[in-house]
Chains A and B, each alone.
Chain A
């Protein structure tokens, strides 16, 4: 089915998320929609999917204008979507999720025909080699499997246009390759595919046509043969260097030493199992791994957010496990949390106050019981300048900042203390390319100043760009620690549990 969008405009209040976007998806082609986070790709697809009403513009299917009142209409017209945040009901089974909305029923009471749904799931998962149990509960499935449920859900409705919204964000490199194969298979069977992504590698691997979106506007189309630099500069609007400039590390003494550290999550499952590693002064150890393999717990256990059940960690020989979070921070640990809006900032506080969240109790920011506004203001102004935080005022709330600037606030706060160890989880998640460059540069500066740096990232590109050594985590254990120049293939296999020497 041929799909055409003409002059789509979608506004949220004063903010124009999509500005007169034209898009043409040919039948049986993979059309990549490339753009940075926040460029308006997902909004556009939600308009197409009938989830948002467009303010202007028309949608044409096989040259006929269509109007979707809701996702139900879009699906009936043959448009399927695999959402970035899966649209699955966790306590339902695979079969129930697949049938939801177009259930096969029997009798006057419309009793569900679950056998029919199971058969559909089996048939489709066989066709694509998915190995899905129709009676498994979705909440018990791994993310990769959940995504397959989403794909089957769309295909079970005879989708002729399949939209995939950032489908690889939660996958290992191997799973990503598998998915891209599936996408090609779908194309060859005549399905049109819209692939929304900000990852150039994927675009080059499978796309037939590329449309680049920036700040809600189409900035151009490109051929998949275009170089990564060309695509990146279209996406960002200026030339960007695809590599992080960093000199060779000059590792000093061991600063952070972790020995056999174990921890359990809130529900008592062991998420961290006898993890050991060292980080030396002046080097970056990056922890790679698919989300949910214990990286979050590693950081939280080191900081003292969750209690450890075994092992210990030391900073300069001083034990930090078992101490309060405040003591850990004061012993020279800087921490950039995974979720800056949830754990890194108080959104309703001003930027100035957010910048002293961990320092408010000490001089010069407070004396006795009173805060010292002058010192706080001066500190904030200095940080805003040093870290290039784009804001109208230090009195603006942290919530009013863009993601990149919020992250700069967090970073500025953590780096304003003399640090021995910097721990950062997903330091550039959801940031634009410009902010990513900035954050990376600051982290490397910190390394060169002699701080031991521990990074957790599920973006393999980020890991390879920053790391001096790479530790790969799988199911709460460190599979191996390998040099930074280890190739992606090997890392990918290790992320699925294979040991370094075997993977290579």
Chain B
């Protein structure tokens, strides 16, 4: 059996002697924590030199490389050269290779974690591996090295100044012993604490390595975010006690062996390679691939009772909304002549906090959620006219406000999400995740269509399967494609119509992949099939062109018009009272919801896109769920599932002009019955 001796230089009271299986081999791992005792560490190395297969040292000051030369503490040199026979490793090579990779990997997956954050290093010189990747990601770095090492009252702000600092001080640093009593006190609560410490503690994310953090007093970590190389079970307990919010751990505890650390890992590689060899960066890359190492975020402290906040941006729906303020009641009668001027003037104003939605409680996990509603001052017309940059800037200001107010996610409402690239730029620059809410909008529209079909009752439903035909006009667009895929699951026959045939063929194959039993018809002209369809979804970008001849549609058909502007104009709709035309579905949130402002809907009904933001907050899924104009089939299915779990329900079906009442459904049904019976009568009379 191979023996690994691990010496934890910066730890105390953490000794063990265990046998573990790693890479299919059993190793005896012996650890002694020497608590900054260089002499003891050296004696242990000398004692076991030749008795064990590898000696791993953790917590000693590591070699710091500059562009020209390097800095190595004499104690480190003394320890690393103490053994004559057994190789000594300190995990430096793994750290050099793996930490930048891990941070980069995490950044690519979760850019929000780092965006617009001020990052503070306890001692950047001891964590050189973190500095490079983080300085690429973030521009605001604070390095407390002068305070950490020598209690000097200033901070460094770039890798270059760090290099300078170390070069100047290296003779002094070399003469200093590595001792516990030099450790500075970051918990200083006095009024007279240095400005440097103040600046460091003002950072959003603190960066340190296990060896440094282990011997600090940790009460200053309360409610903070930490980036750390590795967390030993001993440190984990300490962090838990300190009230730390979350930690990004580069090397999570491996399930095979929770006591692993960088130098033991390097020791394992060393043993595998054999005596007389040196571990190289390539070996580490191989290991990272083999074991599939990846960083994780561990949440230490989560207050479940706390109300989770989300934010949502709306805008005045029309000019007349600008005069709804009580103070505006005297000029309200002049709103027509003043309208244009007011619209222009008020667009100069920045966005502001408008009101809040209170009392949302998830049915699934009981999480309380509160919505902060912000508004920009542009009317839809202004939003479309002005440059996207101007609107982005306004919305970003609101995102920052929302972040400061403690909300975790931002939703873009109504026209604010169609400005420019539909949220992509805003998401990149915002401190909190941003969503457009289109996934739930699509889902709720389909719920509305389904409900409308059920209310009219012309289509038989067996085992949740509609025995009828559905048509999607504009099926190759993103909403159309998603609708077609979802509808194909619950309808007997589906017709997909769009101008470009080759795209339709692609879509047909995709649908058949999801549901091989579906009957799919393809058409480039919607009118060919409109007389047999029971439900028609139109999602074109026709900009007012006629895409569907409403006169040819089957009586009792439901047309769900998702396009904006509408495909079916109101004056056309009036000509067919026997056809139900719906525009969207709006939803209610679970719980005793109290909205203290007018968002343009009655009672507790909210926009589906707002509901998506609330849903994400309820689920604790703070990510940019839907962005850009495209929506995604999987996302719609997921939000649909989330909505059902948390209790977001369809409440009203919207038509062209407001909600559609049950009476209107009855009326439409009667008209359709008459029309359906008439041809039969004719047939009877003809012979």
A binds B: no
A residues whose Cβ falls under 8 Å from a Cβ of B: none
